[in-house]
Structure 1
Amino acid sequence: MLNNFFKKTKYITVSQQSLRKTEEKSDNKPSIPDGMWVKCETCGKVLYKSDLDENNKICNDCGHHFRLRARERINITIDKDTFREFDYSMTSDNPIGFEGYEEKTKKMRNQAGINEAVITGTGKVSGTEVVICVMDSNFMMGSMGSAVGEKITRAVENAIELKLPVLIFTASGGARMQEGIFSLMQMAKVSSAIGRLGKEGLLYITILTDPTTGGVTASFAMLGDIILAEPGTLVGFAGKRVIEQTIRQELPEGFQKAEFLLEHGFIDRIVPRSELKGILKKILTIHDRNR
Protein backbone atom coordinates (compact mmCIF):
# COMPACT_ATOMS: atom_id res chain seq x y z
CA MET A 1 0.00 0.00 0.00
CA LEU A 2 2.79 2.42 0.92
CA ASN A 3 4.63 1.48 -2.29
CA ASN A 4 1.59 2.38 -4.39
CA PHE A 5 1.31 5.69 -2.56
CA PHE A 6 4.89 6.67 -3.39
CA LYS A 7 4.49 5.56 -7.03
CA LYS A 8 1.47 7.84 -7.35
CA THR A 9 3.39 10.73 -5.87
CA LYS A 10 6.23 10.15 -8.34
CA TYR A 11 3.77 10.15 -11.25
CA ILE A 12 2.20 13.44 -10.11
CA THR A 13 5.65 15.08 -9.75
CA VAL A 14 6.66 14.14 -13.30
CA SER A 15 3.40 15.54 -14.67
CA GLN A 16 3.97 18.87 -12.91
CA GLN A 17 7.48 19.11 -14.34
CA SER A 18 6.15 18.44 -17.84
CA LEU A 19 3.48 21.09 -17.35
CA ARG A 20 6.06 23.66 -16.27
CA LYS A 21 8.19 22.92 -19.36
CA THR A 22 5.13 23.33 -21.59
CA GLU A 23 4.32 26.67 -19.94
CA GLU A 24 7.92 27.83 -20.37
CA LYS A 25 7.80 27.01 -24.09
CA SER A 26 4.49 28.83 -24.54
CA ASP A 27 5.96 31.95 -22.89
CA ASN A 28 8.85 32.12 -25.35
CA LYS A 29 8.58 34.89 -27.98
CA PRO A 30 8.48 33.80 -31.63
CA SER A 31 11.85 33.81 -33.34
CA ILE A 32 11.87 36.64 -35.91
CA PRO A 33 15.05 37.30 -37.91
CA ASP A 34 16.66 40.71 -37.32
CA GLY A 35 15.95 43.32 -39.97
CA MET A 36 12.73 41.74 -41.24
CA TRP A 37 10.52 44.55 -39.93
CA VAL A 38 11.00 48.33 -39.77
CA LYS A 39 9.02 50.81 -37.69
CA CYS A 40 8.04 54.07 -39.37
CA GLU A 41 9.31 56.95 -37.26
CA THR A 42 6.43 59.19 -38.37
CA CYS A 43 3.27 57.10 -38.03
CA GLY A 44 4.63 54.24 -35.92
CA LYS A 45 3.43 51.52 -38.29
CA VAL A 46 5.53 48.35 -38.42
CA LEU A 47 6.48 47.68 -42.04
CA TYR A 48 7.72 44.55 -43.75
CA LYS A 49 11.22 45.49 -44.95
CA SER A 50 10.99 43.82 -48.35
CA ASP A 51 7.72 45.69 -49.06
CA LEU A 52 9.36 48.94 -47.95
CA ASP A 53 12.32 48.33 -50.27
CA GLU A 54 10.01 47.62 -53.21
CA ASN A 55 8.26 50.93 -52.51
CA ASN A 56 11.58 52.85 -52.74
CA LYS A 57 11.64 53.12 -48.93
CA ILE A 58 8.44 55.15 -48.68
CA CYS A 59 5.96 54.24 -45.93
CA ASN A 60 2.79 53.04 -47.64
CA ASP A 61 0.71 54.27 -44.69
CA CYS A 62 1.81 57.88 -44.15
CA GLY A 63 4.22 58.55 -47.03
CA HIS A 64 7.27 59.09 -44.84
CA HIS A 65 10.47 58.98 -46.92
CA PHE A 66 13.15 56.84 -45.29
CA ARG A 67 16.76 57.75 -46.07
CA LEU A 68 18.38 56.09 -49.07
CA ARG A 69 21.98 55.06 -49.58
CA ALA A 70 23.78 56.75 -52.46
CA ARG A 71 23.76 53.68 -54.70
CA GLU A 72 20.07 53.06 -53.99
CA ARG A 73 19.40 56.64 -55.06
CA ILE A 74 21.39 56.20 -58.26
CA ASN A 75 19.55 52.96 -59.08
CA ILE A 76 16.12 54.60 -58.96
CA THR A 77 17.19 57.81 -60.73
CA ILE A 78 19.61 56.78 -63.46
CA ASP A 79 18.63 54.54 -66.38
CA LYS A 80 19.81 50.96 -66.00
CA ASP A 81 23.42 50.24 -67.03
CA THR A 82 24.18 53.87 -67.93
CA PHE A 83 25.97 55.05 -64.77
CA ARG A 84 29.74 55.58 -65.03
CA GLU A 85 31.46 56.60 -61.79
CA PHE A 86 34.12 59.30 -61.39
CA ASP A 87 37.02 59.15 -58.89
CA TYR A 88 35.92 55.88 -57.29
CA SER A 89 39.02 55.45 -55.12
CA MET A 90 39.41 59.07 -53.93
CA THR A 91 39.50 59.42 -50.14
CA SER A 92 40.49 62.11 -47.66
CA ASP A 93 43.88 62.30 -45.95
CA ASN A 94 44.29 63.56 -42.40
CA PRO A 95 45.35 67.15 -43.13
CA ILE A 96 45.40 68.42 -39.53
CA GLY A 97 46.54 65.18 -37.88
CA PHE A 98 43.23 64.57 -36.10
CA GLU A 99 43.70 61.65 -33.71
CA GLY A 100 41.96 58.44 -34.81
CA TYR A 101 40.65 59.93 -38.06
CA GLU A 102 42.24 57.32 -40.34
CA GLU A 103 40.72 54.50 -38.27
CA LYS A 104 37.32 56.16 -38.33
CA THR A 105 37.24 56.63 -42.11
CA LYS A 106 38.44 53.06 -42.63
CA LYS A 107 35.63 51.79 -40.41
CA MET A 108 33.11 53.93 -42.30
CA ARG A 109 34.28 52.55 -45.65
CA ASN A 110 33.69 49.02 -44.40
CA GLN A 111 30.29 49.80 -42.88
CA ALA A 112 28.87 52.01 -45.63
CA GLY A 113 30.37 50.09 -48.55
CA ILE A 114 31.60 53.29 -50.22
CA ASN A 115 34.92 55.14 -50.11
CA GLU A 116 33.58 58.60 -49.33
CA ALA A 117 30.38 60.46 -48.46
CA VAL A 118 29.54 61.22 -52.09
CA ILE A 119 29.37 59.23 -55.33
CA THR A 120 29.79 61.11 -58.61
CA GLY A 121 29.54 60.12 -62.26
CA THR A 122 27.60 60.35 -65.50
CA GLY A 123 24.40 58.59 -66.45
CA LYS A 124 21.11 59.02 -68.26
CA VAL A 125 17.80 60.16 -66.80
CA SER A 126 15.06 58.91 -69.12
CA GLY A 127 17.52 59.04 -72.00
CA THR A 128 19.12 62.44 -71.22
CA GLU A 129 22.76 62.31 -70.16
CA VAL A 130 23.67 64.16 -66.96
CA VAL A 131 26.45 64.46 -64.40
CA ILE A 132 25.15 63.32 -61.03
CA CYS A 133 26.50 63.66 -57.47
CA VAL A 134 24.77 61.79 -54.65
CA MET A 135 25.71 62.36 -51.01
CA ASP A 136 25.30 59.53 -48.51
CA SER A 137 24.44 60.20 -44.86
CA ASN A 138 25.59 56.69 -43.92
CA PHE A 139 29.23 57.80 -44.32
CA MET A 140 30.03 60.07 -41.37
CA MET A 141 26.61 61.69 -41.72
CA GLY A 142 27.47 62.82 -45.25
CA SER A 143 29.94 65.32 -43.82
CA MET A 144 31.85 67.44 -46.31
CA GLY A 145 35.57 66.70 -46.15
CA SER A 146 38.23 67.63 -48.69
CA ALA A 147 37.60 64.51 -50.80
CA VAL A 148 33.85 65.22 -50.94
CA GLY A 149 34.48 68.77 -52.12
CA GLU A 150 37.09 67.64 -54.62
CA LYS A 151 34.86 64.92 -56.08
CA ILE A 152 31.93 67.31 -56.55
CA THR A 153 34.19 70.01 -58.02
CA ARG A 154 35.69 67.56 -60.51
CA ALA A 155 32.22 66.32 -61.43
CA VAL A 156 31.07 69.89 -62.17
CA GLU A 157 34.24 70.53 -64.21
CA ASN A 158 33.55 67.35 -66.19
CA ALA A 159 30.02 68.62 -66.83
CA ILE A 160 31.44 71.87 -68.21
CA GLU A 161 33.79 69.95 -70.51
CA LEU A 162 31.06 67.57 -71.66
CA LYS A 163 28.37 70.29 -71.83
CA LEU A 164 26.03 68.36 -69.53
CA PRO A 165 23.51 69.42 -66.86
CA VAL A 166 24.35 68.63 -63.21
CA LEU A 167 22.15 66.97 -60.58
CA ILE A 168 23.28 67.02 -56.95
CA PHE A 169 21.40 65.09 -54.27
CA THR A 170 22.39 66.64 -50.95
CA ALA A 171 22.39 64.78 -47.63
CA SER A 172 24.81 66.08 -45.06
CA GLY A 173 25.43 67.09 -41.49
CA GLY A 174 27.73 69.86 -42.73
CA ALA A 175 31.49 70.37 -42.72
CA ARG A 176 33.71 67.55 -41.43
CA MET A 177 35.29 68.88 -38.25
CA GLN A 178 38.15 66.35 -38.37
CA GLU A 179 39.58 68.27 -41.34
CA GLY A 180 39.22 71.75 -39.89
CA ILE A 181 39.66 74.65 -42.32
CA PHE A 182 40.26 72.23 -45.20
CA SER A 183 36.64 71.17 -44.92
CA LEU A 184 35.34 74.74 -44.86
CA MET A 185 37.38 75.58 -47.98
CA GLN A 186 35.24 73.12 -49.97
CA MET A 187 32.26 75.48 -49.71
CA ALA A 188 34.04 78.12 -51.77
CA LYS A 189 35.65 75.61 -54.13
CA VAL A 190 32.43 73.87 -55.12
CA SER A 191 30.51 77.15 -55.31
CA SER A 192 33.16 78.57 -57.63
CA ALA A 193 32.88 75.54 -59.94
CA ILE A 194 29.09 75.92 -60.02
CA GLY A 195 29.54 79.59 -60.91
CA ARG A 196 31.60 78.55 -63.95
CA LEU A 197 28.89 76.02 -64.85
CA GLY A 198 26.32 78.82 -64.86
CA LYS A 199 28.45 81.02 -67.11
CA GLU A 200 28.44 78.18 -69.64
CA GLY A 201 24.64 78.21 -69.62
CA LEU A 202 24.43 74.69 -68.21
CA LEU A 203 21.61 73.59 -65.93
CA TYR A 204 22.20 72.87 -62.25
CA ILE A 205 19.47 71.11 -60.23
CA THR A 206 19.74 70.38 -56.53
CA ILE A 207 17.54 67.83 -54.82
CA LEU A 208 17.54 68.31 -51.05
CA THR A 209 17.15 65.08 -49.09
CA ASP A 210 16.99 64.46 -45.37
CA PRO A 211 19.05 65.94 -43.78
CA THR A 212 20.71 68.85 -45.61
CA THR A 213 22.43 71.06 -43.05
CA GLY A 214 25.51 73.08 -42.17
CA GLY A 215 28.07 74.18 -44.75
CA VAL A 216 26.40 72.20 -47.54
CA THR A 217 23.21 74.23 -47.11
CA ALA A 218 25.28 77.41 -46.84
CA SER A 219 26.93 76.76 -50.21
CA PHE A 220 26.11 74.53 -53.16
CA ALA A 221 22.81 73.06 -51.89
CA MET A 222 21.04 76.41 -52.28
CA LEU A 223 22.72 77.50 -55.53
CA GLY A 224 20.64 75.39 -57.88
CA ASP A 225 18.89 76.93 -60.87
CA ILE A 226 16.04 74.73 -59.71
CA ILE A 227 15.86 73.51 -56.11
CA LEU A 228 13.70 70.48 -55.37
CA ALA A 229 13.22 68.64 -52.08
CA GLU A 230 11.74 65.40 -50.83
CA PRO A 231 8.77 65.63 -48.43
CA GLY A 232 9.70 66.20 -44.81
CA THR A 233 13.36 66.95 -45.53
CA LEU A 234 15.24 68.74 -42.76
CA VAL A 235 17.02 71.75 -44.27
CA GLY A 236 19.00 74.29 -42.28
CA PHE A 237 22.35 75.68 -41.24
CA ALA A 238 22.47 75.48 -37.44
CA GLY A 239 20.21 73.47 -35.14
CA LYS A 240 16.96 74.91 -33.81
CA ARG A 241 18.19 75.07 -30.21
CA VAL A 242 21.38 76.90 -31.19
CA ILE A 243 19.43 79.49 -33.20
CA GLU A 244 16.91 80.05 -30.41
CA GLN A 245 19.68 80.55 -27.86
CA THR A 246 21.44 82.98 -30.20
CA ILE A 247 18.48 85.18 -31.16
CA ARG A 248 16.61 84.60 -27.87
CA GLN A 249 13.36 83.90 -29.66
CA GLU A 250 11.19 80.84 -30.06
CA LEU A 251 11.10 79.59 -33.63
CA PRO A 252 7.94 78.37 -35.40
CA GLU A 253 7.19 74.66 -35.45
CA GLY A 254 8.77 72.88 -38.42
CA PHE A 255 10.60 75.97 -39.64
CA GLN A 256 13.49 73.85 -40.98
CA LYS A 257 11.30 71.41 -42.90
CA ALA A 258 11.02 71.45 -46.68
CA GLU A 259 7.33 72.40 -46.46
CA PHE A 260 8.15 75.57 -44.49
CA LEU A 261 10.94 76.49 -46.92
CA LEU A 262 8.60 76.07 -49.90
CA GLU A 263 6.01 78.33 -48.27
CA HIS A 264 8.67 81.02 -47.77
CA GLY A 265 10.21 80.79 -51.23
CA PHE A 266 13.51 79.07 -50.46
CA ILE A 267 12.86 76.06 -52.68
CA ASP A 268 10.90 75.58 -55.91
CA ARG A 269 8.98 72.38 -55.35
CA ILE A 270 8.55 69.39 -53.07
CA VAL A 271 8.58 66.19 -55.11
CA PRO A 272 7.73 62.73 -53.74
CA ARG A 273 10.40 60.17 -54.53
CA SER A 274 8.05 58.15 -56.74
CA GLU A 275 7.50 61.19 -59.01
CA LEU A 276 11.03 62.58 -59.09
CA LYS A 277 12.37 60.85 -62.18
CA GLY A 278 9.36 62.01 -64.20
CA ILE A 279 9.79 65.61 -63.00
CA LEU A 280 13.51 65.54 -63.82
CA LYS A 281 12.72 64.22 -67.29
CA LYS A 282 10.39 67.17 -67.94
CA ILE A 283 12.90 69.75 -66.68
CA LEU A 284 15.79 68.27 -68.66
CA THR A 285 13.69 68.05 -71.82
CA ILE A 286 12.60 71.71 -71.57
CA HIS A 287 16.20 72.80 -70.89
CA ASP A 288 17.53 70.80 -73.83
CA ARG A 289 14.97 72.31 -76.22
CA ASN A 290 15.89 75.86 -75.20
CA ARG A 291 19.66 75.51 -75.50
Structure 2
Amino acid sequence: MSGLFVTGTDTGVGKTVFAALLVRWLRRRGVDAVPMKAVQSGAAAEDPAGDAARLLRAAGVTVPKEALVPYAFRAPLAPAVAADKAGVRVELGRILAAYQALRRRHRHVVVEGAGGLMVPIAGDILIVDLMERLGLPAVVVARSGLGTVNHTLLSLHLLRARGIPVVGVVLNDGPHGEPDPSAEDNPRLIERLGGVPVLGRLRTVPEGPKPDAPRMPSGAPPDRATEEAFGEAERTLREAEAAFDEAALAMLEAEVDLSAIVRALEGREGR
Protein backbone atom coordinates (compact mmCIF):
# COMPACT_ATOMS: atom_id res chain seq x y z
CA MET A 1 0.00 0.00 0.00
CA SER A 2 1.15 3.54 -0.64
CA GLY A 3 -1.12 5.51 1.62
CA LEU A 4 -4.32 5.76 3.56
CA PHE A 5 -7.74 7.31 3.00
CA VAL A 6 -9.31 9.05 5.99
CA THR A 7 -13.07 9.13 5.56
CA GLY A 8 -15.91 9.82 7.94
CA THR A 9 -19.51 9.02 8.72
CA ASP A 10 -20.46 12.67 8.20
CA THR A 11 -19.07 16.17 7.98
CA GLY A 12 -17.60 17.67 11.14
CA VAL A 13 -16.70 14.35 12.77
CA GLY A 14 -12.99 15.15 13.07
CA LYS A 15 -11.42 13.82 9.84
CA THR A 16 -9.10 16.78 9.39
CA VAL A 17 -7.98 16.77 13.01
CA PHE A 18 -7.20 13.07 12.89
CA ALA A 19 -5.49 13.19 9.47
CA ALA A 20 -3.37 16.19 10.46
CA LEU A 21 -2.28 14.58 13.72
CA LEU A 22 -1.52 11.29 11.99
CA VAL A 23 0.70 12.95 9.38
CA ARG A 24 2.56 14.89 12.06
CA TRP A 25 3.01 11.76 14.18
CA LEU A 26 4.37 9.81 11.21
CA ARG A 27 6.79 12.54 10.16
CA ARG A 28 8.14 12.87 13.68
CA ARG A 29 9.09 9.22 13.41
CA GLY A 30 10.93 9.71 10.17
CA VAL A 31 8.17 8.40 7.90
CA ASP A 32 7.91 10.31 4.62
CA ALA A 33 4.16 10.93 4.71
CA VAL A 34 2.30 13.91 3.26
CA PRO A 35 -1.36 14.92 3.32
CA MET A 36 -3.82 15.50 0.51
CA LYS A 37 -7.33 16.96 0.59
CA ALA A 38 -9.11 15.40 -2.38
CA VAL A 39 -11.67 18.19 -2.71
CA GLN A 40 -12.48 21.07 -0.37
CA SER A 41 -15.56 23.23 0.01
CA GLY A 42 -16.12 26.01 2.50
CA ALA A 43 -12.67 27.56 2.04
CA ALA A 44 -10.33 28.57 -0.75
CA ALA A 45 -7.14 26.55 -1.18
CA GLU A 46 -4.99 29.31 0.33
CA ASP A 47 -7.33 30.02 3.26
CA PRO A 48 -5.26 29.43 6.45
CA ALA A 49 -8.40 28.30 8.29
CA GLY A 50 -9.29 25.68 5.66
CA ASP A 51 -8.74 21.94 5.96
CA ALA A 52 -6.01 21.83 3.29
CA ALA A 53 -3.92 24.51 4.98
CA ARG A 54 -4.37 22.79 8.33
CA LEU A 55 -3.10 19.53 6.84
CA LEU A 56 -0.13 21.25 5.23
CA ARG A 57 0.94 22.93 8.47
CA ALA A 58 0.80 19.54 10.18
CA ALA A 59 3.11 18.04 7.57
CA GLY A 60 5.67 20.81 7.86
CA VAL A 61 6.70 20.34 4.24
CA THR A 62 6.13 22.18 0.99
CA VAL A 63 3.47 20.60 -1.19
CA PRO A 64 2.31 22.16 -4.47
CA LYS A 65 -1.16 23.62 -4.01
CA GLU A 66 -2.54 21.82 -7.05
CA ALA A 67 -1.45 18.48 -5.55
CA LEU A 68 -2.43 19.25 -1.97
CA VAL A 69 -5.99 20.18 -2.92
CA PRO A 70 -6.87 19.74 -6.61
CA TYR A 71 -10.23 21.49 -6.14
CA ALA A 72 -11.27 24.05 -3.53
CA PHE A 73 -14.45 26.12 -3.36
CA ARG A 74 -15.39 28.90 -0.98
CA ALA A 75 -19.07 27.93 -0.76
CA PRO A 76 -19.84 25.66 2.24
CA LEU A 77 -21.78 23.17 0.13
CA ALA A 78 -21.39 19.63 -1.15
CA PRO A 79 -18.42 19.73 -3.54
CA ALA A 80 -20.52 18.95 -6.62
CA VAL A 81 -22.94 21.77 -5.79
CA ALA A 82 -20.15 24.21 -4.94
CA ALA A 83 -18.42 23.37 -8.22
CA ASP A 84 -21.61 23.93 -10.22
CA LYS A 85 -22.15 27.32 -8.61
CA ALA A 86 -18.53 28.26 -9.35
CA GLY A 87 -18.82 27.13 -12.94
CA VAL A 88 -16.12 24.50 -12.50
CA ARG A 89 -16.18 20.94 -13.83
CA VAL A 90 -14.62 18.55 -11.33
CA GLU A 91 -12.74 15.75 -13.06
CA LEU A 92 -11.82 12.56 -11.23
CA GLY A 93 -8.72 12.22 -13.39
CA ARG A 94 -7.29 15.47 -12.04
CA ILE A 95 -7.65 14.25 -8.45
CA LEU A 96 -6.05 10.92 -9.30
CA ALA A 97 -3.19 12.70 -11.10
CA ALA A 98 -2.58 14.90 -8.05
CA TYR A 99 -2.34 11.81 -5.89
CA GLN A 100 0.13 10.19 -8.26
CA ALA A 101 2.22 13.36 -8.31
CA LEU A 102 2.55 13.20 -4.54
CA ARG A 103 3.29 9.47 -4.64
CA ARG A 104 6.22 10.06 -6.99
CA ARG A 105 7.81 12.37 -4.43
CA HIS A 106 6.84 10.76 -1.12
CA ARG A 107 6.53 7.29 0.35
CA HIS A 108 3.01 7.65 1.73
CA VAL A 109 0.04 9.93 1.06
CA VAL A 110 -2.71 10.39 3.64
CA VAL A 111 -5.79 11.42 1.67
CA GLU A 112 -8.72 13.08 3.41
CA GLY A 113 -12.17 12.97 1.85
CA ALA A 114 -15.03 15.42 2.19
CA GLY A 115 -18.00 14.67 4.41
CA GLY A 116 -19.15 11.06 4.27
CA LEU A 117 -18.91 8.30 1.69
CA MET A 118 -21.96 9.29 -0.34
CA VAL A 119 -21.05 12.95 -0.77
CA PRO A 120 -21.19 13.89 -4.48
CA ILE A 121 -18.02 15.44 -5.84
CA ALA A 122 -18.96 15.68 -9.52
CA GLY A 123 -22.22 14.72 -11.21
CA ASP A 124 -22.95 11.16 -10.08
CA ILE A 125 -19.41 10.58 -8.77
CA LEU A 126 -19.27 10.08 -5.00
CA ILE A 127 -16.45 10.08 -2.47
CA VAL A 128 -16.66 6.28 -2.30
CA ASP A 129 -16.08 6.12 -6.08
CA LEU A 130 -12.85 8.07 -5.63
CA MET A 131 -11.81 5.76 -2.80
CA GLU A 132 -12.42 2.73 -4.99
CA ARG A 133 -10.27 4.19 -7.77
CA LEU A 134 -7.41 5.06 -5.42
CA GLY A 135 -7.44 1.58 -3.89
CA LEU A 136 -6.18 2.72 -0.49
CA PRO A 137 -7.16 1.19 2.86
CA ALA A 138 -9.52 3.37 4.86
CA VAL A 139 -9.82 4.65 8.39
CA VAL A 140 -13.35 5.70 9.29
CA VAL A 141 -13.65 8.62 11.70
CA ALA A 142 -16.98 8.77 13.54
CA ARG A 143 -18.64 10.52 16.44
CA SER A 144 -18.42 8.59 19.67
CA GLY A 145 -21.91 9.37 20.98
CA LEU A 146 -25.49 8.37 20.40
CA GLY A 147 -26.35 7.54 16.78
CA THR A 148 -22.84 6.61 15.73
CA VAL A 149 -23.48 2.86 15.64
CA ASN A 150 -26.04 3.26 12.85
CA HIS A 151 -23.93 5.74 10.86
CA THR A 152 -20.74 3.72 11.26
CA LEU A 153 -22.29 0.36 10.35
CA LEU A 154 -23.84 1.84 7.22
CA SER A 155 -20.45 3.26 6.21
CA LEU A 156 -18.70 -0.05 6.86
CA HIS A 157 -21.35 -1.92 4.89
CA LEU A 158 -20.79 0.29 1.84
CA LEU A 159 -17.01 0.05 2.05
CA ARG A 160 -17.21 -3.73 2.26
CA ALA A 161 -19.60 -3.86 -0.70
CA ARG A 162 -17.12 -1.82 -2.76
CA GLY A 163 -14.19 -4.01 -1.75
CA ILE A 164 -12.39 -1.20 0.07
CA PRO A 165 -10.25 -2.53 2.95
CA VAL A 166 -10.89 -0.92 6.33
CA VAL A 167 -8.07 -0.58 8.85
CA GLY A 168 -10.49 0.38 11.59
CA VAL A 169 -12.66 3.05 13.15
CA VAL A 170 -11.56 6.04 15.21
CA LEU A 171 -14.22 7.54 17.45
CA ASN A 172 -14.04 11.23 18.33
CA ASP A 173 -15.82 13.02 21.16
CA GLY A 174 -15.50 16.32 19.33
CA PRO A 175 -14.32 19.72 20.55
CA HIS A 176 -16.51 19.88 23.66
CA GLY A 177 -16.32 16.34 25.03
CA GLU A 178 -19.85 16.51 26.37
CA PRO A 179 -20.86 13.45 28.46
CA ASP A 180 -22.73 10.79 26.51
CA PRO A 181 -23.53 7.52 28.30
CA SER A 182 -23.69 5.61 24.99
CA ALA A 183 -20.05 6.36 24.19
CA GLU A 184 -18.77 3.66 26.53
CA ASP A 185 -20.67 0.84 24.81
CA ASN A 186 -20.52 2.02 21.21
CA PRO A 187 -16.99 0.71 20.48
CA ARG A 188 -17.97 -2.82 21.52
CA LEU A 189 -21.15 -2.70 19.41
CA ILE A 190 -19.31 -1.41 16.34
CA GLU A 191 -16.65 -4.09 16.61
CA ARG A 192 -19.17 -6.90 17.08
CA LEU A 193 -21.64 -5.81 14.41
CA GLY A 194 -19.22 -4.18 11.99
CA GLY A 195 -16.48 -6.78 12.06
CA VAL A 196 -13.65 -4.23 12.23
CA PRO A 197 -11.58 -2.98 15.15
CA VAL A 198 -12.23 0.32 16.84
CA LEU A 199 -8.70 1.69 16.91
CA GLY A 200 -9.43 4.12 19.70
CA ARG A 201 -11.45 7.00 21.01
CA LEU A 202 -10.25 10.59 21.09
CA ARG A 203 -11.97 11.71 24.25
CA THR A 204 -11.18 15.38 24.61
CA VAL A 205 -9.36 16.51 21.47
CA PRO A 206 -10.84 19.81 20.25
CA GLU A 207 -11.03 20.69 16.58
CA GLY A 208 -8.18 23.12 17.02
CA PRO A 209 -8.02 26.89 16.81
CA LYS A 210 -9.64 28.35 13.71
CA PRO A 211 -9.65 32.11 14.33
CA ASP A 212 -10.05 34.55 11.49
CA ALA A 213 -6.81 34.44 9.55
CA PRO A 214 -4.79 37.67 9.83
CA ARG A 215 -4.84 39.63 6.59
CA MET A 216 -3.10 42.77 5.46
CA PRO A 217 -5.50 45.63 4.81
CA SER A 218 -6.25 46.39 1.17
CA GLY A 219 -5.51 49.77 -0.39
CA ALA A 220 -2.44 51.77 0.57
CA PRO A 221 0.73 49.89 1.58
CA PRO A 222 0.67 49.11 5.31
CA ASP A 223 2.86 51.12 7.64
CA ARG A 224 5.40 49.55 9.96
CA ALA A 225 3.00 49.36 12.91
CA THR A 226 0.43 47.50 10.80
CA GLU A 227 3.04 45.07 9.54
CA GLU A 228 4.21 44.37 13.09
CA ALA A 229 0.62 43.83 14.28
CA PHE A 230 0.00 41.47 11.40
CA GLY A 231 3.14 39.49 12.16
CA GLU A 232 2.24 39.24 15.83
CA ALA A 233 -1.26 37.98 15.03
CA GLU A 234 0.19 35.34 12.71
CA ARG A 235 2.68 34.20 15.34
CA THR A 236 -0.07 33.97 17.94
CA LEU A 237 -2.14 31.77 15.63
CA ARG A 238 0.76 29.42 14.96
CA GLU A 239 1.73 29.22 18.64
CA ALA A 240 -1.84 28.38 19.63
CA GLU A 241 -2.02 25.71 16.95
CA ALA A 242 1.33 24.26 18.01
CA ALA A 243 0.16 24.03 21.62
CA PHE A 244 -3.01 22.27 20.49
CA ASP A 245 -1.03 19.83 18.37
CA GLU A 246 1.24 18.83 21.24
CA ALA A 247 -1.69 18.11 23.54
CA ALA A 248 -3.60 16.34 20.78
CA LEU A 249 -0.59 14.21 19.78
CA ALA A 250 -0.27 13.00 23.34
CA MET A 251 -3.96 12.05 23.28
CA LEU A 252 -3.56 10.32 19.91
CA GLU A 253 -0.66 8.21 21.14
CA ALA A 254 -2.46 7.30 24.36
CA GLU A 255 -5.86 6.47 22.91
CA VAL A 256 -5.40 5.15 19.34
CA ASP A 257 -3.81 1.92 18.10
CA LEU A 258 -1.39 3.57 15.68
CA SER A 259 0.49 0.33 15.09
CA ALA A 260 -2.47 -0.96 13.03
CA ILE A 261 -2.23 2.11 10.81
CA VAL A 262 1.52 1.70 10.39
CA ARG A 263 0.99 -1.94 9.38
CA ALA A 264 -1.57 -0.84 6.78
CA LEU A 265 0.86 1.73 5.38
CA GLU A 266 3.51 -0.95 5.13
CA GLY A 267 1.27 -3.21 3.08
CA ARG A 268 -1.09 -5.08 5.35
CA GLU A 269 -4.66 -4.58 4.22
CA GLY A 270 -7.57 -3.88 6.51
CA ARG A 271 -10.74 -5.93 6.61
Fold equivalence (TM over 0.5): no
If asked which structure has higher relative contact order (CA below 8 Å, sep 6+), I would say 2
TM-score (ref. length: structure 1)? 0.31
The structure with more radius of gyration: 1
TM-score (ref. length: structure 2)? 0.32
